């Protein structure tokens, strides 16, 4: 956080710069660029989203928090994995992405098994220790990471787990630093792997645990 940025949230870049255009398409999706970015993400990142659901080994009845789902391609699989009796909450700060996810997942929302709402890794709106698993795909580079890791640990139940994956080329830091930051926030049992892929390059993959029993 800085005196010029009291909320601690990253300022949006002006959309007329190249950096701003990428930010408007993929970082903080908004406007026409955000709509196009959402369609690109839905096409390219579906398998990574589904990998996160599989790796979390979700069980019927569990309560899952998905941070930064973007257009929501992974949400139906997460919802299906926790039925019967489970529920998924998805938080994303982009209204453009929330609209896309709500359109894509209208049936799950109508059934009461999914809620899509405003939020972020640093402000989930969940109560302490109420979540069995957290999923994060391609958004950790956008967080205020110390605050995000602390918040996600707070909402996980003791022994709960988090699965995080991100394209290596967008991460912007060495993957090992994520391990240092997560353990610094209190996570335990952190595993880090790199999965090679032909088209998108390596994916950073992490499994992290709340250290409680
Ligand atoms: C590159 S997109 C990834 C979307 C989707 N998970 C995927 O892999 O296709 C990044 C998403 O993270 C969201 N986001 C931005 N800042 C965030 C934060 N601090 N916490 C959680 N999500 C954030 C953006 O609004 C956007 O929907």
pLDDT band at 8 (very low <50, low <70, confident <90, very high): very low
Task: Give the chain's mean pLDDT.
Answer: 93
User: pTM of the entire structure?
Assistant: 0.93
**CB-ligand 1 contact for 38 (6 Å cutoff):** no
Euclidean distance between the first and final Cα of the chain, in Å? 33
- The answer to whether 163 touches 133, Cβ cutoff 8 Å, is yes
Which residue did the predictor score with more confidence, 9 or 213?
213
Instruction: Provide mean pLDDT across the span 168-184.
Output: 97
Q: Per the structure block, which two tokens stand in for 81?
A: 């994995």
pLDDT at position 145: 98
What is d(CA 92, CA 13) in angstroms, rounded to the nearest whole number?
18
pLDDT at position 2: 36
Q: Which residue has the tokens 């870049």?
A: 13
**CB-ligand 1 contact for 187 (6 Å cutoff):** no
- Residue 97 per-residue DSSP state: H
pLDDT in tens, 40-99: 999 999 999 999 999 999 999 999 999 999 999 999 999 999 999 999 999 999 999 999
Domains and CATH numbers, the chain: 45-209 (3.40.50.150)
What is d(CA 153, CA 211) in angstroms, rounded to the nearest whole number?
9
Residue identifier of the C-alpha nearest atom 16 of ligand 1: 142
With a cut of 90, say whether residue 1 has pLDDT above it: no
To test the ligand 1 pocket, which listed residue (100, 142, 151) has its Cβ within 8 A of the most ligand atoms? 142
> Comparing C-alpha atoms, which of 112, 121, 111, 132 is closest to residue 91?
121
pLDDT band at 212 (very low <50, low <70, confident <90, very high): confident
- The answer to whether 30 touches 96, Cβ cutoff 8 Å, is yes
**CB-ligand 1 contact for 29 (6 Å cutoff):** yes
The helix or strand, by DSSP H or E, that contains position 203, with its residue range, turns out to be strand 203-209
pLDDT at position 125: 98
pLDDT in tens, 102-128: 999 999 999 999 999 999 999 999 999
**Could you tell me what percent of the chain has a pLDDT over 90?**
88
Q: Which residue has the tokens 């529920």?
A: 87
- Residues whose CB falls within 8 Å of the CB of residue 183, separated by 6 or more in sequence, listed in order: 190
Q: What share of the chain is helix, strand, coil (3-state, %, to 5)?
A: 40, 25, 35
pLDDT at position 136: 98
- Residue 142 per-residue DSSP state: G
Residue identifier of the C-alpha nearest atom 27 of ligand 1: 70
């Amino acid at each position: 956080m800085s005196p010029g940025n009291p909320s601690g949230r990253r300022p949006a870049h002006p959309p007329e710069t190249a950096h701003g255009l990428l930010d408007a398409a993929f970082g903080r999706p908004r406007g026409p660029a955000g709509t196009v970015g959402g369609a690109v993400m839905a096409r390219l990142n579906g398998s990574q989203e589904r990998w996160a659901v599989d790796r979390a080994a979700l069980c019927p009845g569990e309560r899952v928090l998905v941070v930064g789902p973007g257009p929501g391609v992974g949400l139906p699989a997460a919802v299906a994995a926790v039925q019967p009796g489970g529920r998924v909450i998805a938080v994303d700060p982009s209204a453009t992405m929330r609209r896309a996810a709500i359109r894509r997942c209208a049936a799950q929302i109508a059934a009461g098994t999914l809620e899509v709402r405003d939020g972020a890794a640093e402000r989930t709106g969940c109560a302490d220790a109420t979540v069995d698993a957290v999923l994060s795909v391609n958004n950790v580079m956008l967080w205020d990471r110390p605050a995000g890791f602390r918040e996600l640990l707070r909402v996980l139940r003791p022994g709960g787990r988090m699965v995080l994956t991100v394209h290596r080329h967008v991460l912007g830091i060495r993957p090992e630093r994520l391990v240092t930051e997560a353990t610094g926030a209190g996570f335990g049992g952190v595993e880090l792997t790199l999965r090679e892929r032909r088209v998108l390059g390596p994916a950073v993959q992490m499994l992290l645990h709340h250290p409680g029993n």
